[in-house]
Amino acid sequence: MLAVIFAAGLSIVVLAATFIDQTGTRGLAEHGRQLYAPHGEQPNPNLLYGLVYLVAVVGLLLWLPLLRAVQSRRGWAPLLATVASVVTGVLAVLLLVATEYGERIFPATWGLLALLPTVAGIVGTVLLLGRSSGSGSLGH
């Protein structure tokens, strides 16, 4: 359960980091500007930030029901954990690999930050699967 709480918490960290960057340093917006300027285009920084927010919010919306399922010892909690891990992982990888004009749209830092909740979710999934499969084994 702790890994699932950690995954939800890390999704909040992604939200907070995005908000801090958007209202402060604007590193993501500057990266976008540098990417598109040579091609005579102006990126919409709100779209860039919005995509990172979307990844974090989707993750949070997947981890929170999982917390409830784990607390109530639902049998489908390992399945939900697997789905949450896969979905958040795919979204994070998309941030890592999305390119335009042969350049990454998002700096690798953002994709790696978005992967952190997935890593915690994978740990939680493994623990949940072990708990559910271990309940019928000898010694339990």
pLDDT attached to residue 134: 59
Q: How confident is the model at residue 140 (pLDDT cuts 50, 70, 90)?
A: very low
pLDDT attached to residue 132: 73
For residues 32 and 47, the answer to whether their CB atoms sit within 8 Å is no
| 28-65 pLDDT tens trace | 999 999 999 999 999 999 999 999 999 999 999 999 99
pLDDT of residue 127 exceeding 50, the answer is: yes
pLDDT attached to residue 75: 86
Domain boundaries in the chain? Answer: 2-134
Strands 103-104 and 99-100: antiparallel
What percent of the chain clears pLDDT 70, i.e. is strictly above it? Answer: 94
pLDDT attached to residue 32: 96
pLDDT attached to residue 15: 98
Average pLDDT, the chain: 92
Q: Which range (10-14, 58-62, 124-128, 134-138) has the least confidence? A: 134-138
Name the E strands within the chain: 99-100, 103-104
Q: Region 60-72: what's the mean pLDDT?
A: 92
- Please give the torsion angle defined by the CA atoms of residues 67, 68, 70 and 73, in that order, rounded to the nearest 10 degrees: 180
pLDDT of residue 13 exceeding 50, the answer is: yes
